[in-house]
């Protein structure tokens, strides 16, 4: 599907890990599928002393391994490389931005500036772009983390907002681009089946989990000053929560969707610092074994302080104070070095009030919806059915929507979808400033309390985190999904 949206895509941090693993592979997939305007250009920007030929060799060596399972189409790859230019740029030299402006002068269409850099560089880059007039007819994409707390987040947003209008700023959260998240919206708002059940009268609890087998890898310096609450909860988990819990929007335009998400974030019950120990669990992984391989403790990872109190695991009980969700607990969980790599949303419906079929139909979780975001993107609806044979014996069965089996078209990766949305000027799947502020305001009391208290609870790598996370759910007569199975 050819588009008519001409563009110049400028990639700051063009030699970085994110560019190699996610951004350039996503642009290649869009190019191969014919979704990019033929004359659109990509300009990679970095400090490395390279000419265009040297940079393309770098791309050949580092990007090909990260494209989809279907592999490389050499003809498409060659024509994709023809789109790419390289500009060596030193942020401290104004003349280098003049060089960038000159390189873009003859290129028509919308300018997209993707800042795949650390947040400390966001403001200097934006100011330098404005100094040479490159903030006109432009869109700016900001990667997370956008600040360290509410104050620093506001400082960045204020400075960027002096240069770019809110409608030009795309704060990216790649979880919002995942296919099952889009299908969650379709299931809820495109079908009459689920909406009557999507409320406190019929939902017992909701779990949202983002679990990783990996540790901090080579990001010890960054992670030890960030932690799981800032890295995952403030953005990914609260964004998924707002999608799950939002009211039906007036339309799917950007502000209608984001207005409803904002209402959810503002309805989050504030956490009293005195109650944090009851509704928030933080942990830090110790040495353990994952899939037969021994892995070290977090405190011994490169770049991590040996006495670090940074959390690598967070579990929270969250409540939404509005008419639809009052009294329904939302359990959020994320961690590194856990037993499996999985991201999923579990909607547990209430048990039937009375059954002549036996106690199995009365147990919590007999009816549930499991939306798997990774590694296999599926939606699965669980219900009870009679086992074949004599007697009325019930067993759990499920209905599957496995996207790769049902739809012949290949799934679009999250970054591919989001980059196309930037090029086309669609903001619905990007985070608005007031959403971000509401999320930081809710998270900050936890951050402050943890900063003043002792160390996180230990858990062995390869497990599902501290036992306290399971105990928190047990207080509500429920458990994490993997514990039940």
Query: CA 367, 372, 376 angle in degrees (round to 5)?
Result: 130
- Under the banding of pLDDT at 50, 70 and 90, the label for residue 359 is low
Question: What does the pLDDT look like over 138-182, one tens digit per residue?
Answer: 999 998 878 889 999 999 999 999 999 999 999 999 999 988 888
R_g of the chain, CA atoms, integer Å: 24
Is the Cβ–Cβ distance between 459 and 215 less than 8 Å? no
| Structural contact between residues 320 and 328, judged by C-beta atoms closer than 8 angstroms | yes
How many other β-carbons are positioned within 10 Å of the β-carbon of residue 109?
17
* % pLDDT > 70, the chain: 95
Q: Is the pLDDT of residue 2 over 60?
A: no
Model-level pTM greater than 0.85? yes
Q: What is the pLDDT of residue 318?
A: 97
pLDDT of residue 146: 87
Q: Does 145 sit behind a cis peptide bond, omega within 30 degrees of 0 on the bond before it?
A: yes
- Binding positions are 47, 90-91, 144, 174, 178, 212, 231, 336
Annotated binding-site ranges for NADP(+): 47, 90-91, 144
Give the C-alpha separation, 256 to 166, whole Å: 15
CA-to-CA distance for 398 and 235, rounded, in angstroms?
31
> Which DSSP string corresponds to 44-88?
EEESS---HHHHHHHHHHHTGGGS-TT---HHHHHHHHTTEEEEE
The catalytic residues are 236
Domains of the chain, first to last:
7-143 (3.40.50.720), 176-484 (3.30.360.10)
What does the alpha-carbon distance between residue 53 and residue 59 come to, in Å, rounded to a whole number? 10
């Amino acid at each position: 599907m050819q588009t008519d949206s001409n563009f110049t895509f400028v990639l700051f941090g063009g030699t970085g890990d994110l560019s190699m693993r996610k951004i350039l592979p996503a642009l290649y997939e869009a190019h191969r599928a014919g979704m990019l305007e033929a004359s659109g250009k990509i300009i990679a920007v970095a400090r490395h002393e390279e000419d265009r030929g040297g940079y393309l060799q770098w791309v050949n060596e580092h990007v090909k391994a990260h494209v989809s399972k279907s592999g490389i189409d050499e003809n498409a790859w060659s024509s994709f490389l023809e789109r790419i230019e390289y500009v060596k740029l030193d942020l401290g030299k104004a003349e280098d931005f003049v060089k960038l402006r000159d390189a873009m002068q003859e290129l028509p269409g919308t300018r997209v500036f993707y800042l795949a850099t650390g947040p400390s560089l966001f403001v200097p880059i934006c100011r330098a772009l404005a100094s040479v007039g490159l903030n006109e007819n432009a869109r700016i994409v900001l990667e997370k983390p956008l600040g360290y707390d509410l104050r620093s987040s506001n400082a960045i947003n204020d400075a960027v907002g002096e240069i770019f209008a809110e409608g030009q700023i795309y704060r990216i959260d790649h979880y919002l681009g995942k296919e099952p998240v889009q299908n969650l919206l379709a299931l809820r708002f495109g079908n009459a089946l689920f909406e009557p059940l999507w409320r406190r009268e019929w939902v017992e609890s909701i779990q949202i989990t983002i679990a990783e087998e990996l540790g901090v890898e080579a990001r010890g310096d960054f992670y030890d000053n960030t932690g799981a609450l800032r890295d995952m909860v403030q953005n990914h988990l609260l964004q998924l929560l707002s999608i799950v819990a939002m009211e039906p929007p007036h339309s799917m335009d950007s502000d209608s969707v984001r207005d409803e998400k904002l209402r959810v974030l503002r309805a989050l019950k504030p956490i009293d610092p005195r109650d944090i120990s009851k509704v928030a669990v933080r942990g830090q992984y110790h040495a353990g074994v994952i899939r037969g391989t021994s892995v070290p403790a977090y405190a011994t990872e490169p770049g991590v302080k040996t006495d670090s109190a940074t959390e690598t695991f967070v579990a929270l009980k969250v409540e939404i104070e509005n008419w639809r969700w009052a009294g329904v607990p939302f359990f959020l969980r994320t961690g590194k070095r856990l037993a499996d790599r999985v991201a999923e949303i579990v909607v547990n419906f209430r048990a039937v009030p009375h059954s002549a079929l036996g106690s199995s139909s009365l147990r919590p979780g007999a009816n549930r919806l499991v939306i798997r975001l990774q590694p296999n993107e599926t939606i699965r609806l669980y219900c009870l059915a009679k086992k074949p044979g004599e007697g009325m014996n019930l067993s759990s069965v499920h209905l599957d929507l496995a996207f790769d089996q049902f739809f012949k078209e290949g799934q679009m990766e999250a970054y591919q979808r989001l980059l196309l949305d930037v090029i086309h000027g669609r903001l619905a799947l990007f985070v608005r400033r007031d959403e971000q502020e509401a999320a930081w305001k809710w998270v900050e009391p936890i951050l402050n309390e943890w900063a003043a208290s002792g160390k996180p609870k230990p858990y062995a790598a390869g497990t599902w985190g501290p036992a306290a996370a399971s105990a928190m759910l047990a207080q509500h007569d429920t458990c994490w999904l993997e514990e039940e199975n």
